[in-house]
Amino acid sequence: MPNPPRLNEWLPTALILVVVAVGLRLLALAFDQTDLFVDEVQYWFWGQNLDFGYYSKPPLIGWVIRLVTDLAGSDAAFWVRMPGAVLHGITALILGALAARLIGRAAALWTVALYLSLPFVSLGSVMISTDTIMAPFYAAALLFLFRTADTRRASDALAVGLFAGLAFMAKYAAVYILAGAGLAMIFVPMLRPGWRNLAVMIAGFALVISPNVMWNLSHDLTTVSHTMDNAGWVRHGAKFDLGSLLTFLGSQFGVFGVITMAALIWAYLRPRTQAHRALVLLSIPAIFVVSVQALMDKAYANWAIATYFAGTVLVVMVLPRWGRIAALALNGILAVALPVLLILAPWPMSGDRPLLNRYLGRHALSESILTLAEREDLPVVTSNRDILADLFYTGRDRDVALYATPETGRPSSYYAQNFALPEDIAGPVLVVSLGDIPCPGDALDGLVRDGTWSTTELHATRVDAGCLFAK
């Protein structure tokens, strides 16, 4: 690999790019008119109950949100979402350092700029997700993997394992870095770290993830079961749905950008140097595995995000200057439009609904449920994860007891697992349901159905708690 440029040759300019982009995104968040989405309030709630694992994800996102909100002294939506923009800014700088090491100064700056403009980065900078928490650690593991190839230092190898472990503690999709690194070490001689350093990497990784492994073992492998549910075909058989595969692959042009995705495919087809081949092997496992998942059952667009950390450097490596400019310009349209839409919500409209309808009306419904519960002096019970998640967030300073509908068998959510209605509760409860419930009761008025709930059949009913335990 070429001698990398000194930090002062690219970092000051890169910092300016990052500070401007992150600053503008934080400014937009300060005026954001949307509600926290169901996943965001769930991550916030996890942070109120610190643990080494949760129902569907590893723990790091809950820890990060708790740290930020405690330091800020506020649980407002701004502080819940604020880490997104900052962490993606840090990721851009780390990938810039990787590009500087592999290609040079200009590539470092283009990598920073292109990464900041990517559609999934724009969204992840204004709505917090596990992908965003994973991003800087995944990027750092990539950087130190290449550093280890150069230096052969055990300290760099340890950093690979520690950062890969932290990425895994943010999202289990970080396991793709293990697959990619293994392939790269096999097929690209320059990336072989030596047996001692490989052992150090594995030890560092195992050390970091061990608390979550122990948590899973002591909680009936909860997240493993949830992952099998997401895979679908593992429990119910494969569908071999070509349409699902094509839909997923098409969605990646929206996740990574049209020009950047086309350039990445081109980069996969024409590896030229050892560094190029290594980046391909580090990038491709996630999109390959998720494509197989899409063929077998279904796959969400963000499941292959791990593809695009090494992928961003690959794109810069193969795109000519005019292609980089075109990609930056096209991605930049969404990067600017999305924060503007958050500020202007509920405008614009899409037909008879706001364009961002699914991010509106959630807190209004929760406020109406909490007010109704206080008026009737009843605990609230619901089986709907979206409603219950927002109730815990919106009602964090209200004295209303909140429960999930009791279930038999394996719990269907974090709330059913940890906050199911206790059997010793007697008397009436307020049940909020979509559609009718199989219990006689008194219908109550007062629910506010706006935004995402505007066309939903919601009912508030006073019922006897014992009925909810009837077999």
What is the per-residue pLDDT across 240-264, written as a single tens digit (0 to 9) for each? 889 999 999 999 999 999 999 999 9
Host H or E run for residue 314? helix 307-318
CA dihedral of residues 150, 152, 154, 160 (deg, nearest 10): 40
Q: What percent of the chain has pLDDT over 90?
A: 84
The residue ranking higher by pLDDT, 234 or 98, is 98
pLDDT digits (tens, 9 = 90+) for 402-456: 999 998 888 888 999 899 999 888 899 999 999 878 788 999 999 999 999 999 9
Average pLDDT, integer, range 192-202:
96
Q: Which of 307, 320, 378, 350 shows the shortest CA–CA distance to 139?
A: 307
Average pLDDT, integer, range 102-111:
96
Average pLDDT, integer, range 345-367:
93
Q: Among 74-83, 351-360, 370-379, which is the least confidently predicted range?
A: 351-360
CB neighbour list of residue 80: distance below 8 Å, 6 or more residues apart: 36, 40, 41, 43, 44, 65, 68, 69, 128
Average pLDDT, integer, range 142-171:
97
The Cα–Cα gap between 281 and 277 comes to 6
Average pLDDT of the chain is 93
Q: What's the number of CA atoms in the CB half-sphere (13 Å) around residue 116?
A: 28
Q: Is the pLDDT of residue 187 over 70?
A: yes
- How confident is residue 1, by pLDDT bands cut at 50, 70 and 90? low
- Per DSSP, the three-state class of 353 is strand
Instruction: Output the CA angle 464-465-470, nearest 5 degrees.
Output: 100
Average pLDDT, integer, range 120-146:
98
The gap from C-alpha 167 to its chain's centroid, in whole angstroms, comes to: 12
Task: State residue 2's pLDDT score.
Answer: 64
The amino acid at 344: L
Show contacts of 411-419: CB within 8 Å, 24+ apart. 411/55, 412/385, 413/55, 413/385, 413/388, 414/42, 414/45, 414/46, 414/54, 414/55, 414/56, 415/385, 415/388, 415/389, 416/383, 417/55, 417/222, 418/49, 418/55, 419/388
- How confident is residue 234, by pLDDT bands cut at 50, 70 and 90? low
Q: What percent of the chain has pLDDT over 70?
A: 96
The Cα–Cα gap between 287 and 300 comes to 12
- Per DSSP, the three-state class of 436 is coil
Q: Is the pLDDT of residue 233 over 60?
A: no
